[in-house]
Structure 1
Amino acid sequence: MEKNNRRNFLKLTGLTGAGLLGTSLLKGFPTTQKDTPALHNDSSYRQVFNMSGYSAPKLETVRVGFIGLGNRGPAAVKRMKYIDGVDIKGLCDIRPERTEAAKKLLEGTRHTPTLYSGTANAWKKMCERDDIDLIYIATPWDLHTPMAVFAMNHNKHACTEVPAATTIDECWQLVSTSERTRKHCMMLENCCYDFFELLTLNMARQGLFGEIVHCEGAYIHDLLEGNFSKTKNYDLWRLKENFRRKGNLYPTHGLGPVCQVLDINRGDKMDYLVSMSGNDFLMGNTARKLAATDDFYKPFVGKPYNGNMNTTIIRTIKGRTIMLQHDVTSPRPYSRIHLVSGTKGVAQKYPLPGRIALGGDQWASPEEMNTLTEKYTPEIVNRVGEMAKQVGGHGGMDFIMDWRTIDCLRNGLPLDQDVYDAALWSSIFPLSEKSVLNRSNSVDIPDFTNGAWKMNKPVNLSLENGGTTKIMM
């Protein structure tokens, strides 16, 4: 059994293309994967070094290696080529054709990356190089923590797609490794850099909403057809996540921006949550309908699919609340909700283009919204927002995220999202699962900062001492 487990792990960590989680690797997994015993917990863990507000040594040029070029990875490579002070040194995917395709995106630029592919450990060889500063991870969920930990242990900063971890044990691995190595571990939560989220964060910082009392976020996205697509996710890895796990499987898009508004990990902390899921009304039926005409789908019939809607409520130490929802199957318009409610006003992003009410029960008129937007749009959007829209990436927020991350590394500034954010926001996945499986009883939320939240400073999005990185269009 020990040899088989090791073999499965090596196979898993070698599947570096986004969406590469094979059927054979899922055999033997329990229907619901519970956490292994945590390496640390609130009572036993002692912070080695506080990574919140940490300024790593300046990097005049940020040398980057990318792992995972199946879906999100190539888009990141394309965005990075427009950012000055970046040298793309390596491209890695288990499929050679993916690395070759990504390399073509860099034709005519100054970048001459080495390609890594074809073997289970190719990504490790890239991480072991001495001339790379940052590893950018865009692989399936289960690979994020092993790759980020390996990168940090080899003297690299790590940026990973969401979620950064899928178990509480993995969350602690990220925290302890980042603190010990003093290497940044940033989860690439791009929604923190969307335009309305940045606007409302700045307004909250200016006190327009008064004291924030409640926030809401969500990931409501109709992925039903895509989850069953034979081509969208290799070997239907994301569909399989939806029958081996329960709860809110993808919490961070809605959670990250409101955590920054609430200064979570930086003045307040999450205390506990309760989580409830309804039944599955769509995925099982879809599997049966597809299997009736295509034998390929017969193994997916009768699986215990995750409930279509999950609702999770979080209470903070200061008595504020957060409501999160997760639904990736219902035929509903896309929404992350993004509601910020305070003692003096409220903002809500969806339905687009968003609305704000200050000091009354009427939403601001379009003219008033224009005035508020012009006055409170933060400096980072004024500086790079229009160029970000041209480059793209979910309307520009992906590019703002990448540009800001590189600019902070080049100027020795703290990152907007640290390892404690990566761990905490990701932890809602397994913690919601624990609550759902226990009749929605409350579950305590770990303090990954080990008490440092009381003194950590809020996120500062100003370009003071930064903003020097050029964009090459």
Structure 2
Amino acid sequence: MKSVFNRRDFLTAGAALAGSLMMPTAFAATRERVRIGMIGTGMRGQVLLQELLRRDDVEVVALCDIEPIMLGRALKQVEKFGKAKPKTFGEDRDPQAYKRMLDAGTLDGVIIATPWEWHAQMAIAAMQAKVPVGCEVVAGVTLQDHWDVLNTQLKTNTPYMLLENVCFRRDVMAVLQMVRSGLFGELIHLQGGYQHDLRAVKFNSGDPAKPYGGGVEFGAKGWSEAKWRTEHSVQRNGELYPSHGIGPCAMYTNINRGNRFTRINSFATKARGLHDYIVKQPGGANSPSAKTQFKLGDVVTTTLACENGETILLQHDTSLPRPYSLGFRVQGTDGLWMDVNNSIHIEGKSKPHQWEDFQAYQDKYDHPLWRKHAKDAEGAGHGGMDFFVIQSFIEALKARAPMPIDIYDAVTWSAITPLSEQSIAQNFQTLDFPDFTAGAWKTRKPIFAL
């Protein structure tokens, strides 16, 4: 597939992020192609790799992974697309192999799609090597991780983008158009979260051909995410995955651009779901996994207060049986939208005390780039969202433009995790939310202009 987003489209749309970022005035340094490396070629990495390989303005020149099976699968992807074989790093299983890739000095950008605990140190190493970063969520694990990533970016001035794909969801972007047009009036309260049954992701048989379910192994005996992600449920109690929910809510409320988070608190329920899942599986009750004590509460509820008076509620719910939902709600003085029932109510337009189906509103307010590129996004991961998140990163690199989800967004959204852990550990205390912008939020302008 040819690059479906040319420079004229980019300038007309106004931004790398779905046409809404305010662009610099000079474009003398734009480039037609970029050389990209990837650290982490596991299942998530392979989804992003596909989007890179679909483009003719990207050369995937380096791949790094310490798991030979995954590295081999990534190379087969490259071969399938008829692209030149990239250099590979990590076959020796050296955890520091990514540094050799960064030292090569041939990269215009790097995608980081590794386990969470590696994100901060890999991003820091890349920025120190002057390689722009597109990092999968989350930005870091500890609060200090977030300050270190931020300070490195500010010191090196190397671009950093958090690859939060839900910001590109079609209905989310349509609601952004509605917010900007004033359809909801003044915003009052928002909700979102990560409500996704991950039990079969956190446990499997350890068979590389069966990454989801089929057993109760995790850690060293597990495979894919069960190898690393489940341990976070053992050791940590907090809002472990905030960006899917908070990203859109932060866009709607102009966080870091005229608004900021001021206070945060979190509550966690008891932990029962993962143990219950284990003992119900064949042989699970007698397995070593059944003796594991899980720290993560089954439902974690986090509330954020904003400088401009809004509240935002997030819920993390991954250990119990349930259908997938991000639970979005955008409520203002003139009405509200909720994604769970795909409904909207606007005072003066909807019948009193009745919901309307959201589809007609989505069609009316559909974002211009979804109108233009819906066909191009077909087949991309997460219902097309991965097409847009990769495109926004690549187009910003090509134009040497500001990243649409920038370093301040990344650390602010992601720092909710360690702050929620602190709140829960301190008997659900309400904490001050750090100002990562050091006051710059007062003068920074919204990037999602219509």
- Return the letter of the residue paired with 1:176: N
- Whether 2:101 is the aligned partner of 1:113: answer no
Query: Could you give the per-residue CA deviations for residues 402-449 of structure 1, whole angstroms, max 9, x where no partner exists?
Result: 112212222233222001111011111111111111111101111111
How many residue pairs get aligned? The number is 405
- Whether 2:311 is the aligned partner of 1:321: answer yes
Divergent runs of 4+, >6 A? none
Aligned partner (choices 243, 246, 252) of residue 255 of structure 1 = 246
Report the aligned-residue RMSD. Answer: 2.1
Q: Contact (CA 8 Å) 1:81, 1:109: kept in 2 or not?
A: no
Equivalent positions of 1:289-300 (< 5 A) are 297-298=287-288
Shift in Å, 1:87: 1.1
CA distance in 2, matches of 1:229, 1:271: 40
CA distance in 2, matches of 1:363, 1:400: 34
Equivalent positions of 1:250-289 (< 5 A) are 250-288=241-279
Cα gap change, 1:197 to 1:278, in 2 (>3 Å): same
- Whether 2:355 is the aligned partner of 1:382: answer no
The 10-residue stretch of structure 1 (441-450 or 104-113) with the greater mean CA deviation from structure 2: 104-113
SS of equivalent residue, structure 1 residue 106:
helix
Q: Contact (CA 8 Å) 1:380, 1:461: kept in 2 or not?
A: no
The 10-residue stretch of structure 1 (121-130 or 63-72) with the greater mean CA deviation from structure 2: 121-130
Shift in Å, 1:285: 3.1
Cα gap change, 1:266 to 1:215, in 2 (>3 Å): same
Q: Contact (CA 8 Å) 2:251, 2:448: kept in 1 or not?
A: no
Q: Contact (CA 8 Å) 2:345, 2:356: kept in 1 or not?
A: no
1:76 maps to: 48
Structure 2 stretches of 5 or more lacking a match?
1-20, 212-222
Q: Contact (CA 8 Å) 1:287, 1:301: kept in 2 or not?
A: no
- Whether 2:396 is the aligned partner of 1:424: answer no
CA distance in 2, matches of 1:208, 1:412: 34
SS of equivalent residue, structure 2 residue 191:
strand
CA distance in 2, matches of 1:447, 1:291: 49
SS of equivalent residue, structure 2 residue 78:
coil
1:359 maps to: 347
Aligned partner (choices 141, 149, 162) of residue 166 of structure 1 = 141
Aligned partner (choices 231, 234, 237) of residue 243 of structure 1 = 234
2:37 maps to: 65
Aligned partner (choices 283, 299, 302) of residue 309 of structure 1 = 299
CA distance in 1, matches of 2:285, 2:355: 52
Shift in Å, 1:346: 1.0
Q: Contact (CA 8 Å) 1:190, 1:397: kept in 2 or not?
A: yes
1:48 maps to: none
Shift in Å, 1:294: 7.3
1:175 maps to: 150
1:104 maps to: 76
Cα gap change, 1:341 to 1:82, in 2 (>3 Å): same
- Return the letter of the residue paired with 2:252: V
Cα gap change, 1:459 to 1:230, in 2 (>3 Å): farther
Cα gap change, 1:74 to 1:123, in 2 (>3 Å): same
Shift in Å, 1:68: 0.7
The 10-residue stretch of structure 1 (228-237 or 164-173) with the greater mean CA deviation from structure 2: 228-237
CA distance in 2, matches of 1:117, 1:198: 38
Cα gap change, 1:95 to 1:281, in 2 (>3 Å): closer
Equivalent positions of 1:166-245 (< 5 A) are 166-231=141-206, 232=211, 233-234=223-224, 236-245=227-236
Structure 1 stretches of 5 or more lacking a match?
1-51, 463-473
Equivalent positions of 1:384-403 (< 5 A) are 384-388=373-377, 390-403=378-391
Shift in Å, 1:124: 1.0
Equivalent positions of 1:410-449 (< 5 A) are 410-449=398-437
1:95 maps to: 67
Shift in Å, 1:400: 1.2
SS of equivalent residue, structure 1 residue 105:
helix
1:373 maps to: 362
- Return the letter of the residue paired with 1:420: Y
Query: Could you give the per-residue CA deviations for residues 172-227 of structure 1, whole angstroms, max 9, x where no partner exists?
Result: 11111111111111111110001010100111111111111110001111112321
Query: Could you give the per-residue CA deviations for residues 291-319 of structure 1, whole angstroms, max 9, x where no partner exists?
Result: 95576x41551414311001011001111
Cα gap change, 1:304 to 1:391, in 2 (>3 Å): closer
2:335 maps to: 345
Cα gap change, 1:362 to 1:399, in 2 (>3 Å): farther
CA distance in 2, matches of 1:230, 1:422: 34
- Whether 2:382 is the aligned partner of 1:407: answer no
Shift in Å, 1:385: 2.0
- Whether 2:130 is the aligned partner of 1:155: answer yes
- Return the letter of the residue paired with 2:177: N
TM-score between both structures, scaled by the size of structure 2: 0.85
Cα gap change, 1:105 to 1:61, in 2 (>3 Å): same
Shift in Å, 1:328: 0.3
CA distance in 2, matches of 1:328, 1:339: 19
SS of equivalent residue, structure 2 residue 36:
strand
CA distance in 2, matches of 1:396, 1:311: 29
SS of equivalent residue, structure 2 residue 117:
helix
SS of equivalent residue, structure 1 residue 246:
coil
Shift in Å, 1:106: 1.9
CA distance in 1, matches of 2:331, 2:68: 49
CA distance in 2, matches of 1:195, 1:401: 12
CA distance in 1, matches of 2:111, 2:401: 19
The 10-residue stretch of structure 1 (132-141 or 413-422) with the greater mean CA deviation from structure 2: 413-422
Shift in Å, 1:365: 3.9
2:115 maps to: 140
- Return the letter of the residue paired with 1:387: D
CA distance in 2, matches of 1:73, 1:239: 19
* Percentage identity across paired residues of the two chains: 33
